[in-house]
Amino acid sequence: MTLPDPVTEASDDRGGSDEKTPLEDPVLMEDDRGSPPPPRMVSIPGPGVFEAFGWLVGVIMLHLVATAIAIMLIVLGLVIVRNDPKLLSDQQQLQLAINDQIGLVMGGDQLLFVIAVTLLVGLRLAVPPAPSSGPWTRLLNRLGRQKIRWPHLAMIVAIVIPVSVSCGQLFVVANRVWQQMLKALPGLPDVQTVQEVNVLSNLAEGLPLPALVFVLAVLPAIGEELVFRGVIGRGLVARTGVVRGVFMTSLLFSVAHLHPAHQLSVFPLGVLLHVIYLATRSILAPILLHFLVNGWAAVLAKASVSMKDQGEGAQLLGGDELMAWYVLLPAVLASLAAVVFFWRSRIEFQEADGKWWWPIYRSVETPLGPAVATRLNPPLSLVMGLVGMLLCFYVVAGWEIYRLVGGG
């Protein structure tokens, strides 16, 4: 089998580093396509572990700086609109004015963050330019530019609600534990973030639905996926293998969300997003799922706020109460099965002679030479089991909503 040239593949178009190591990925060593060639000494792209931590710190600092800039601009606008310079000297009135504009603060933070991240990711992945391709082609290839196949697209849409339920319920449990810890240990910092139920409700009250979806779903999906899957995950998976790379990337992704309960609840989402990214070889796939999950949360928050009667039906839609086990169980099982489904149906490449292309290291990039993208066929039993669990979840969840809202 013909292997890609390590100089061309790793240094020219994949952004090599000075570090050379024999790569042995256990996921690559056991595959339906047969046995891979022996490992070779190759240049592996970054970021490594230390640079990944640097990106994490940078993400947190960017949010802090972006929030500060947004607040300053909003305060300046309020002073000009109200023609009241004394607002700057009245701390209580100033704080109330900022709280009333929490939607603009969050929107400004996210918008500035996405702009900065887009520039930084472009510089990291497109520079230095390669002799064989321009910076734009280089950037798209490294981020993953395959079209999302319809089975993958259909499954992404189908698992949005089960995944949202699973992660949401994990947040509810973790948040209750955290609140008890705050009562038992008063010295712990009471971290307030946008992911908390009460803060999300405040945002939902102050913003129309399109603006809420834009702030909570569109912008975070783009910015976070470019950083964590596009840059950090690229290097960690290439250097440490799929399992460890996905685990470390998802861990850093969860740490970036600051609130302890939310950190725990987004970790499994990060794993799923990364598996989907590797399986589809498209940065658009995790962006889409991230957008749909956050968008669903925004819709539920807006619906809960608009409902005058905050009864069990409203709680089922998106509150902070635990769901019945027979609703939660199929949601969790479907989410777990989806991870396996995406990996077993991932996109691989066949060379011109019909042989499978074995990448030197796992990435979402495409071969330099002629190759055909082929979606692997998952076991029929896996597909049927996943479809069955999804149907079970939607039937049970629909019946539960009907029962609680007023159907008996």
Per-residue pLDDT for the chain (408 aa), expressed as one digit of tens each? 333 333 333 333 333 343 444 444 444 444 556 555 555 555 677 789 999 999 999 999 999 999 999 988 888 888 787 777 777 777 777 777 777 788 888 999 999 999 999 999 999 988 766 666 678 888 888 999 899 999 999 999 999 999 999 999 999 898 888 888 877 776 666 665 555 556 777 788 888 999 999 999 999 999 999 999 999 999 999 999 999 999 999 999 999 988 888 899 999 999 999 999 999 999 999 999 999 999 999 988 888 777 754 544 445 545 677 888 899 999 999 999 999 999 999 999 988 888 888 777 888 988 877 888 999 999 999 999 999 999 999 999 999 888 877 655
Residue burial 346-357, b: 16+ Cβ < 10 Å; e: rest: bbbbbbeeeebb
Nearest partner of 372 among 395, 355, 387, judged by Cα: 355
Q: Which of 341, 395, 406, 381 is nearest to 161 (CA)?
A: 395
Per-residue pLDDT at 132: 64
What values do phi and psi take at 378, rounded to 5? -75, 160
Predicted confidence at residue 177, as pLDDT, reads 87
In sequence order, which ranges of 10-85 are alpha helices (DSSP H)?
26-29, 49-82
Both tokens of 107, joined, read 């929107």
pLDDT value at residue 198: 63
Q: Among candidates 237, 267, 101, which has minimal Cα distance to 171?
A: 267
Q: In this structure, which long-range contacts are made by residues 1-7, counting pairs with CB atoms below 8 Å and at least 24 apart in sequence?
A: 1/37, 1/355, 1/356, 1/358, 2/351, 2/353, 2/355, 3/37, 3/40, 3/358, 3/360, 4/357, 4/359, 4/360, 4/367, 4/368, 4/369, 6/40, 6/41, 6/42, 6/43, 6/360
pLDDT at 4: 37
The count of other CB atoms within 10 Å of the CB of residue 34 is 9
H/E stretch holding 212: helix 209-213
User: Which residues make Cβ contacts (< 8 Å) with residue 14, sequence separation at least 6?
Assistant: 45, 142, 363, 365
d(CA 216, CA 117): 17
pLDDT of residue 13: 37
**Residue 349 Cα distances to 150, 242, 283, 288, 361, angstroms:** 18, 18, 18, 23, 14
| Length of the chain in terms of residues written | 408
pTM: 0.86
| pLDDT value of residue 190 | 62
* Whether 358 contacts 36, CB under 8 Å: yes
